[in-house]
Structure 1
Amino acid sequence: MKKGVNFEPWVRSAGGAVVTDLARSRRLQARLHELVPGGAHTYARGSDQYPEDMAPVLVRGRGARVWDADGNSYVEYGSGLRSVTLGHAHPPVVEAVRACLADGVNFSRPTALELAAAEDFLALVPGADMVKFAKNGSDTTTAAVRLARAATGRDLVAVCRDQPFFSTDDWFVGTVPMNAGVPSVTRQLTVGFGYNDLPSLAEVLDRHHGKVAAVVLEPATALREPEPGFLAGVRSLCDQHGAVLVFDEMITGFRWAAGGGQALYGVTPDLSCWGKGMGNGFPIAALAGRRELMELGGLATARPRAFLLSTTHGAESVGLTAFRAVARVYRETDPVAVMERRGARLADLVNGVAHELGVADHVAAVGRPSCLVFTTSDARGVPSQAFRTLFLAGLLRGGVLGQSFVVSAAHTDDQLDQTASAVHSALVTYRRALEAGSTEGLVAGPPVAPALRSHASPRQRPAAPP
């Protein structure tokens, strides 16, 4: 155990298991680092996103609770990188998937399930005429860009620079700090504009007149809603300049509304990209859009065909069955309303504790209730990774796991109360650090760091032995 980290049990009035040790998780994480670059298959899941030696390795989840390899239980936020809206192992989804397994899951021809899933999807997204399924969101956003380029004969792509992530592929990764290996010529094909800033988009389209194939953005984010007229203005500018409008609905889909931001805000894109919540954690993604664009990757076009999406596992039965079960839950109930209520109560609880302890100017739960994040700033009010690390450590000790406060519809009032108790304990320590002007001695090791940074430091690990 490193100096400065206290794993002594903490008794909470709200109940729940106390995190006492992570010895087995640490051993498993070390082995993961030997076999998997970064120790995880998604950078946002990496151990560098958690305090040193405090990254639990999980073994199961149910509802809004997860368990690690050491037997500790946590109230989980972030909800599978926002992919879980109904809760882990949601019974109707699991039962549907279990029933489909006996019939086989991958074949050499389309299945009737593919048609049924397409009908279900297009009923939720009435602005789209056609859909093609895939396994991850990056494939769909890249397919949308390729399709836009094929339709327009142009090369440039305009992306919203205020939004953090659109694809693992070169056309986007070339714009982030972690871009080693992306050719410079590829980087030059993506340009940026500001969210809620129509003049910046107009300037980009004017400066690159007739060269922009697609305008790509999320219709909204956790912290920023579209100002009145913004999305309609983007739609109009795309029409004026002949650019294809692409909405990334990975997060907004099934979390803002079943039909995503386009349904909520009433602006229809030419193409939209989906994933995450549409399978409640099962791997399923989709590209949807106008027929005349989508058919460029089909058989009803005389034009040169675009390689749209063609994947062995894109339409396997498990993902499509999970999606159909999720779609049914959304038709018959209102998970978004539940998430909004739970998130609003959680924000009230967290912010109430912060006010009580006099640290509300430094720690706050903010954003759309169904997609809350938290702020962590130092004594000067500047966002701080060191103070974020301290807060995360306090949450973990109190049985709360998450880099955000993103809820699912499975979170209960008791779990929100447990979270408030963990926040209270964490903020008592946080206040001490603010008074001292430093987190030194209160948390071990270097601080957490942005997932897509250019170098491994400040969380660089020793090289594995040959």
Structure 2
Amino acid sequence: MSNSNRTPEEQALMTKAAAVLPGGSLGNLRLDEEHAFVVREGRGSRVIDVSGNEYIDYLLGSGPMVLGHAHPKVIAAATEAMMKGTTFFTQNAYAIELAERIVEAMPCAEQVRFVSSGSEATYNALKVARAFRKREKILKFEGGYHGSHDYSLMSLAPSGNTPFPQPEPSSAGIPRAIQDTVLVAPFNDLNAVEDLLDRYHDELAAVIVEPVQRTIAPQPGFLPGLRELTNRYGVLLVYDEVVTGFRLAYGGAQEYYNAVPDIAAIGKIVGGGFPLAAIVGRREIMESYDQGSVTPDVYVPQSGTLNGNPVAAAAGLATLEVLREPGTYEAYHARAATLRNTLQRLFDEAEIPAQVSGIDMMFDVFFTEHPIVDYRSTLVDKTLNRIFDNTLLDNGILKSPGKLYVGACHSDEDIERTIEVFRLGVAAVRDA
């Protein structure tokens, strides 16, 4: 909604935020001044701001709230756990059971190490890969996001002119030494990957990839091809499944695309809206975290105050139980497909060059005639995106500037209303 609907109470909160939070925000998500708001509460597929405006939520807390906000089973489980104590820094039954569920679900998971964020998960996955392979370099894909650590921020948002495989820092404060240990390839390009593995395999510990890179779907054969190439050259394959885990399928992207990595980082959904993530992988690799099982040159110390805390683990268990119910994914994916396919059809009918890129459960729009296959193909003018996104916000549809998450919480009525607003957004773009 526009700031004309903002109450003095909400405006006062935003003024306070600007004073005490860098940029007045909690992170990188910043809506423009006219459309910014402060959330009061969330219920199911909706969020309500302090001024009382209601939105159908396709931000979903940046992905974890696939069941919607304040899901009764998740709240009940977390509350029950909380009443027994919030954290202990020792084993607890909830964490052990959640680890067991993850091992059952994820094809690559033989053991689990809990952490508290996706950034920690990918950072530690890369570290254990380097320790296990006893090599320093990693290969990542241009535009791939793996959290806020230094390795992730190499070529996250580069100019698009840097020659491969040279990395380009996307943040200040990163030591030059990090650059020297990262190689970069274009997403969906197996020939480029093969060339780099052929040249650098003796130095490479791992290839890390988002199976769906932001809102760029893998081309048919890309992930199986990565698996074959990394096996051939003796390099570990790491999936960043922080976003895709338990979203594409119960077993994540590795089940959905039938291509299994050596290690995966998971987060978001698995914590049920609480701070919880994990590194999962083959036992022989994960044993590097166990000082009693490996030699010092392979041992990786890793700990965290809230690792596997019972409240987050209980919420994660409840979330997975709901997702395991028969028909959940089928219904969820069908509604998501309706939404994505309808948006593409609306642009086509309006003769607006646009690509609704991604997969049914998470997608965004790029205003171009060209297919979106890698980071450089996303470098198109964003003026029309701002018009489209702001039209959605003005009409009660919330998404991030870069992605729309469809959840299992979204009802047929939500989808119908969203399509009505999509029509307004398409018209606004057409008339711009």
Give the TM-score normalised by structure 1.
0.81
Partner of 1:51: 32
RMSD: 2.4
Please identify, of 80-89 and 364-373, the stretch whose mean Cα deviation from structure 2 is larger.
Answer: 364-373
Equivalent position of 2:164 in the other structure: none
What is the SS of the residue equivalent to 2:322?
Answer: helix
* Equivalent residues in 2 for 1:181-220, closer than 5 Å: 181-220=173-212
* Structural mapping, 1:300-339, within 5 Å: 300-339=293-332
Q: Distance in 2 between matches of 1:395 and 1:154?
A: 48
1:84 is the counterpart of 2:84:
no
Q: Structure 1 residues 391 and 230 mapped into 2: Cα distance closer, same or farther (>3 Å)?
A: closer
Does the 8 Å CA contact 1:391/1:427 hold for their aligned counterparts? Answer: yes
User: Displacement of 1:257 after TM fit?
Assistant: 0.7
What do the CA deviations read for 1:163-205 (whole angstroms, capped 9, x no partner)?
Answer: 4301211122243353100011212211112222222112112
Corresponding position of 2:385:
388
Give the fraction of aligned pairs with identical amino acids, expressed as a percent: 30
Partner of 1:370: 361
> Does 2:53 correspond to 1:72?
yes
Alignment of 1:348-427 (within 5 A): 348-355=341-348, 358-362=350-354, 365-376=356-367, 383-403=380-400, 404-427=403-426
Which residue number in structure 1 is paired with residue 16 of structure 2?
A: 31
How far off is 1:271 after superposition?
A: 0.7
Distance 2:219 2:35 in 1: 40
Contact 1:175 1:190 in 2 (8 A): no
Distance of 1:337 and 1:151 partners within structure 2: 38
1:332 partner SS: coil
**Greater CA drift, 293-302 or 221-230:** 221-230
Cα distance in 2, alignment partners of residues 328 and 208 from structure 1: 43
What are the equivalent positions in structure 2 for 1:66-465 lying under 5 Å apart?
Answer: 66-161=47-142, 163-176=143-156, 177=158, 178-221=170-213, 223-298=215-290, 299-355=292-348, 358-362=350-354, 365-376=356-367, 383-403=380-400, 404-433=403-432
Question: Secondary structure at the residue paired with 2:79?
Answer: helix
Q: CA deviation at 1:104?
A: 0.6
Q: How many residues align?
A: 409
Aligned counterparts of 2:425 and 2:107: Cα–Cα separation in 1: 46
**C-alpha displacement of 1:134:** 1.0
Which has the greater radius of gyration? 1
Letter in 2 for 1:372: F
CA contact (8 A) 2:361 2:406 kept: yes
| Change in 2 beyond 3 A, CA 1:354/1:33 | same
Q: Could you give the per-residue CA deviations for residues 1-52 of structure 1, whole angstroms, max 9, x where no partner exists? A: xxxx9778xxxxxxxxxxx346544442332122112322221x2x2xx333
Describe the shift of the 1:215–1:353 C-alpha distance in structure 2 as closer, same or farther (beyond 3 A).
closer
Q: Quickly say closer, same or farther: Cα 1:225–1:430, change in 2 above 3 A.
A: closer
Name stretches of at least 5 consecutive residues in structure 1 with no aligned partner.
9-19, 434-466
5+ unaligned residues in a row in structure 2: which ranges?
Answer: 159-169, 370-377
Shift of 1:119: 0.9
3-state SS of the aligned residue for 2:113?
A: strand
Greater mean deviation of Cα atoms: 232-241 or 61-70: 232-241
| Residues 412 and 22 (structure 1), Cα distance of their counterparts in 2 relative to 1, 3 Å cut | farther
Deviation at 1:294, TM superposition (A): 0.8
CA distance 1:6–1:101, shift in 2 (3 Å): closer
Decide whether aligned partners of structure 1 residues 6 and 234 sit closer, same or farther in structure 2, where only a CA change above 3 A counts. closer
Please state whether the residue corresponding to 2:152 is helix, strand or coil.
helix
Q: TM-score, normalised by structure 2?
A: 0.87
Contact 2:132 2:298 in 1 (8 A): no
Secondary structure (helix, strand or coil) at the match of 2:123 reads helix
